[in-house]
Chains A and B, each alone.
Chain A
Amino acid sequence: MKRIGLLAAIVAIGLTGSVCSADAQNKIVIRSVPIGNLKVVDPIWTTAYITRNHAYMVWDTLFALDADNKPQPQMVDTWSVSPDKLTYTFTLRDGLKWHDGGAVTAADCVASIRRWGARDGMGQALMSYTAALEPVDAKTFRLVLKEPVGFVIEALAKIDSNVPFMMPERIAKTDPNEQITEVIGSGPFRFVANEWVPGSKVVYEKFKDYVPRKEPASQAAGGKVVYVDRVESIYMPDHGVAMAALASGELDLHESPATDLLKLVEGNPDVVITPNDKLGYQLFMVLNHLHPPFNNKAVRQALAWGIKQEEFLTAMTGDPERFSVCAAVYGCGLPNESKAGTVPLLHPDPEKAKSMLQAAGALGAKVTLMDPTDNDLHSAALVAAQTLRRMGFVVDVVAMDWSTLIQRRASKAPPEQGGWNIFVTNATATGTANPLTNNFVKNCDQAWYGWPCDPRIVDAGRQWALATDPAKQRQLIDELQRLHMENVTNVPLGMYRPTIIYRKELSGIIPAPAIFYWNIKKQN
């Protein structure tokens, strides 16, 4: 026994002494925690935000939104529109290269736009108005429309999923219903494939041949200058451990810390807390318009009176400074904010809700609520259950994981036969910002889950897409908002802004819906 112990000690000392730590390599590394687990690498195939964030590292876009949410050219050098507003011609910047060598060409861009246009809602709309899309020469391509529309550049500058990233032609030719397998782009970082540990760590390295624009960085637009050598994105589902690791310096940045744990680092002089995404997320309740009780407009309107947005928002984020009550379907603090018809949601009256329910004969009606227990919407679901019970509904809370929920919500069957009545979900503010991108309130044959159908809404939406006069657009938005409130397409539950935390050695983090790792400097 003694001899074994001595032997072990000698071995341990020997090994310890002989090996030095590999960290002493003078590389500037940022270790950060992403918003989720990167499962799918293809940002055209999935709208998952984690994939979008990952994509921003390695791929680039033709246009991008600046800090005022105005489209600016990014990969495009110059562009022009014909006098009849039907032909758009784009010329690429010099020096754009793919990570595996080879220059970016117009053919690459054409293929990428087509692939994106097959999957994304706004892209599909654009493609439906497109007569021709073809390269003119190695650096120029043109888009010819069937009739003038006002959103071509906005579509190509889209900052929210699916973002129209440019990929090499051979990769962009992948069937849109399949995932791409290679992560090769022309963005400021390279994806280090052999160091990827799915479910745990993603590694990016600076792409030395990237040519940034000359302008300063401004949200997703401007020059993407990289000041670090390497970014390690470490997935850490345990928030407490992640917070402790950041406080001790083992991590540099956390993209979505648990708000309740922020008080652990609030007094810490080495840690900065900031709401990096000023717009944040919209929370909303999805109603099934096909089956009782919510197929009855009167019942839906009664529901709106019984909702206290504060309860939902507090349960989701805890801190009143990080959320705001908001009933605008297209978001508050955004260009298409409207106050039409918002009284019930902004001035809840549970007694009135109950009496309206009684008048509609729905007191005691059974409601099947889907509760995703494995993500943070779970709290909102439980608050929803209690709210509905308070109003006089009988609620069956069906617990399931998120993957089951997204399968079950596609079912149009009655709730007793595997369907549903209600669930709560969220979307980025930019994703709900206008009638084209906000799939969640589209109606009739374009409807999202819940299947609301009011032909007036479809009509007004179509008119908005074609309108080029801002005053007309404004009028249509108010009309849409009014119709959404009258019909109770869904129930907006307010908006909340996530915070990020990072160590003070980092600077230059750009305010945006995703964390961009260019422009960030790290002191040693």
Chain B
Amino acid sequence: MWGYIARRVLATVPVVAIVALVVFSILHVAPGDPAALIAGDQATPEQIAAIRAKLHLDLPIYQQFGLWLGNALAGDLGTSIFSNRPVAALFLQRLEPTVALTVTTTIVAVLLAVPAGVLAAWRSGSLVDRAVMGTAVLGFAFPVFVVGYILIYLFAMKLRLMPIQGYRPIAEGFWPCLQHLVLPSLALGLSFMALIARITRASVLEVLGQDHIRTARAKGLPTRRLLFHHALPNAAVPIVTIIGVGVALLLGGVVVTESVFAIPGVGRLVVDAILARDYPVIQGVLLIFSLTYVVVNLIVDLIYVAIDPRISYRGGS
């Protein structure tokens, strides 16, 4: 098994390297000059040129890439052009809100959507089924920010149940932190829930039609045990897959959600950096993202092996 893990890990190196190369080259083809932006409105061309030289923006691209890669491998992801702070420090500072939001959203989505999907599969074809699936599909179709604004308007402004925006670190208290995450999680999680519910339903339906389930029913097994102890575990693989895939999708929605709810997370950091052409930040953070994605995939693969003995780690994937 360790051989399998080692092989999988090694396989990720070229992927991450390619991401680094792609990200780097895209950005340096871009129009828009961070030097001009830093120098400000009333700078002379000489002042702008001096700044470019200092940021090594006047070196050929491959030299800039080499410099950056060398540093990155040593753990130094460079310094933000604008705030002059190390990229790694900026990332770590903004990590907690994003992680808290993603985790909360995943938990909420799974807790709400999996039972809903199971219910829909159990009562397949009935009104309940249609209602659940209908709501799920609708949730998928609305853009995240529209849902966000509607939630803010209803719950925060009209009903005054939740705070409107912002983030409170866990260090300042678990409950305030959670309170500020409820609306963003719902907004972000809606499409995730839709996805999970659908896949759960389809997967459980398939399992329910199988012989061993029909036998269990014939033997008089109570419904809840049947559904959650027999059907669900067998249907687990696609559901776990979609949760893993969904987390990756979430990262995209996180960006918009952080923007609407003023949460100081990594998503906003990257978007602001992209729009401001803060190259070191963009490169560093996208690199970390791709590493994370790769690691999460690895973990998901290992979970498969753990929960489904039919899947062997020996063959190709």
Q: B160-179 vs A: 1/0 string, CB under 8 Å?
A: 10011110000111111000
Asked if B50 is an interface residue, CB under 8 A from chain A, the answer is yes
Assess the A181–B272 pair: CB atoms within 8 A. Answer: no
Assess the A241–B261 pair: CB atoms within 8 A. Answer: yes
Assess the B45–A244 pair: CB atoms within 8 A. Answer: no
Assess the B268–A200 pair: CB atoms within 8 A. Answer: yes
Asked if A401 is an interface residue, CB under 8 A from chain B, the answer is yes
Q: Knowing A241-B261, A404-B31, A406-B41 touch, does A1 contact B228 (C-beta < 8 A)?
A: yes
Name the B residues within 8 Å of A7 (CB-CB).
none
Residues 114-167 of A contacting B (Cβ, < 8 Å): 119, 121
Name the A residues within 8 Å of B163 (CB-CB).
248, 250
CA distance A19 to B174 in the complex (A): 7
24 interchain pairs, CB-CB under 8 A: A1-B115, A15-B174, A19-B174, A21-B172, A21-B176, A22-B172, A40-B38, A45-B38, A47-B41, A121-B42, A197-B93, A198-B80, A198-B90, A200-B262, A238-B260, A244-B164, A247-B157, A248-B160, A250-B164, A250-B165, A374-B275, A401-B32, A406-B37, A407-B36
Asked if B94 is an interface residue, CB under 8 A from chain A, the answer is yes
CA distance A407 to B275 in the complex (A): 14
Residues 186-234 of A contacting B (Cβ, < 8 Å): 196-201, 234
Assess the B173–A20 pair: CB atoms within 8 A. Answer: yes
Residues 365-412 of A contacting B (Cβ, < 8 Å): 374, 400-404, 406-407, 410
Assess the A198–B41 pair: CB atoms within 8 A. Answer: no
CA distance A403 to B36 in the complex (A): 7
Name the B residues within 8 Å of A23 (CB-CB).
172
Name the A residues within 8 Å of B174 (CB-CB).
15-16, 19
Assess the B156–A244 pair: CB atoms within 8 A. Answer: yes
Among B31, B85, B165, the most chain A Cβ lie within 10 Å of the Cβ of B165
CA distance A250 to B167 in the complex (A): 12
Q: Knowing A37-B272, A45-B40, A177-B47 touch, does A245 contact B31 (C-beta < 8 A)?
A: no
Name the A residues within 8 Å of B50 (CB-CB).
177
Name the A residues within 8 Å of B277 (CB-CB).
403
CA distance A195 to B283 in the complex (A): 24
Asked if B39 is an interface residue, CB under 8 A from chain A, the answer is yes
Asked if B241 is an interface residue, CB under 8 A from chain A, the answer is no
Nearest CB to that of B80 among chain A residues? A198
Among B37, B94, B157, the most chain A Cβ lie within 10 Å of the Cβ of B37
Residues 1-50 of B contacting A (Cβ, < 8 Å): 31-34, 36-42, 45, 47-48, 50
| Cross-chain contact of B275 among A177, A201, A401, A406 (Cβ < 8 A) | A401
Name the A residues within 8 Å of B190 (CB-CB).
none
Residues 52-86 of B contacting A (Cβ, < 8 Å): 54, 80, 82-85
CA distance A199 to B80 in the complex (A): 12
Asked if A441 is an interface residue, CB under 8 A from chain B, the answer is no
User: Which A residues are closer than 8 A to B by beta carbons?
Assistant: 1, 15-16, 19-23, 37, 39-41, 45-48, 119, 121, 177-179, 181, 196-201, 234, 236-238, 240-242, 244-245, 247-248, 250, 374, 400-404, 406-407, 410, 439, 448
Name the B residues within 8 Å of A242 (CB-CB).
165, 262
Asked if B124 is an interface residue, CB under 8 A from chain A, the answer is no
Name the B residues within 8 Å of A15 (CB-CB).
174-175
Name the A residues within 8 Å of B45 (CB-CB).
410
A183 → chain B closest CB, angstroms: 11
Assess the A46–B36 pair: CB atoms within 8 A. Answer: no
User: Which B residues are closer than 8 A to A by beta carbons?
Assistant: 31-34, 36-42, 45, 47-48, 50-51, 54, 80, 82-85, 90, 93-94, 115, 149, 152, 156-157, 160, 163-166, 171-176, 228, 259-262, 264, 268-269, 272, 275-277
B115 → chain A closest CB, angstroms: 8
Assess the B264–A200 pair: CB atoms within 8 A. Answer: yes
| Cross-chain contact of B264 among A179, A197, A407, A439 (Cβ < 8 A) | A197
CA distance A39 to B268 in the complex (A): 14
Assess the B152–A46 pair: CB atoms within 8 A. Answer: no
Name the B residues within 8 Å of A48 (CB-CB).
40-41
B31 → chain A closest CB, angstroms: 6
| Cross-chain contact of A241 among B42, B160, B260 (Cβ < 8 A) | B260
Assess the B272–A199 pair: CB atoms within 8 A. Answer: yes
Q: Knowing A237-B259, A403-B32 touch, does A244 contact B83 (C-beta < 8 A)?
A: no
A-side binding surface: helix, strand, loop or mixed? loop
Name the B residues within 8 Å of A248 (CB-CB).
156-157, 160, 163-164
B176 → chain A closest CB, angstroms: 6
Name the B residues within 8 Å of A402 (CB-CB).
37
Assess the B165–A236 pair: CB atoms within 8 A. Answer: yes
CA distance A19 to B177 in the complex (A): 11
| Cross-chain contact of A46 among B33, B39, B85, B268 (Cβ < 8 A) | B39
Nearest CB to that of B224 among chain A residues? A1
| Cross-chain contact of B38 among A37, A46, A201 (Cβ < 8 A) | A46
Assess the B93–A245 pair: CB atoms within 8 A. Answer: no
CA distance A200 to B167 in the complex (A): 11
Q: Knowing A181-B84, A200-B268, A244-B156 touch, does A403 contact B165 (C-beta < 8 A)?
A: no
Assess the B164–A407 pair: CB atoms within 8 A. Answer: no
B254 → chain A closest CB, angstroms: 15
Q: Knowing A46-B40, A403-B276 touch, does A241 contact B83 (C-beta < 8 A)?
A: no
Q: Knowing A201-B264, A374-B275 touch, does A238 contact B259 (C-beta < 8 A)?
A: yes
Assess the A19–B34 pair: CB atoms within 8 A. Answer: no
Assess the B173–A199 pair: CB atoms within 8 A. Answer: no
Assess the B156–A407 pair: CB atoms within 8 A. Answer: no
CA distance A433 to B96 in the complex (A): 47
Name the B residues within 8 Å of A41 (CB-CB).
83-84
CA distance A22 to B175 in the complex (A): 11
Nearest CB to that of A449 among chain B residues? B41
Name the A residues within 8 Å of B173 (CB-CB).
19-22
Assess the A47–B269 pair: CB atoms within 8 A. Answer: no
B277 → chain A closest CB, angstroms: 6
Q: List 15 other contacts, CB 8 Å, given A119-B47, A197-B93, A200-B262.
A: A1-B115, A19-B173, A20-B173, A21-B173, A40-B82, A40-B83, A45-B40, A177-B51, A198-B80, A200-B94, A236-B165, A244-B157, A245-B166, A245-B262, A248-B157
Name the B residues within 8 Å of A47 (CB-CB).
40-42
B198 → chain A closest CB, angstroms: 20
CA distance A196 to B89 in the complex (A): 11
CA distance A179 to B37 in the complex (A): 13
Assess the B84–A179 pair: CB atoms within 8 A. Answer: yes
Among B83, B90, B176, the most chain A Cβ lie within 10 Å of the Cβ of B83
A495 → chain B closest CB, angstroms: 19
CA distance A448 to B83 in the complex (A): 27
CA distance A153 to B115 in the complex (A): 74
B313 → chain A closest CB, angstroms: 28
CA distance A47 to B83 in the complex (A): 16
Name the A residues within 8 Å of B93 (CB-CB).
197
| Cross-chain contact of B33 among A45, A198, A199, A407 (Cβ < 8 A) | A407
Nearest CB to that of B229 among chain A residues? A1
Assess the A197–B37 pair: CB atoms within 8 A. Answer: no
Name the B residues within 8 Å of A236 (CB-CB).
165, 262
CA distance A30 to B165 in the complex (A): 17
Name the B residues within 8 Å of A407 (CB-CB).
31-33, 36-37
Assess the B164–A198 pair: CB atoms within 8 A. Answer: no
A242 → chain B closest CB, angstroms: 8
Assess the B152–A241 pair: CB atoms within 8 A. Answer: yes
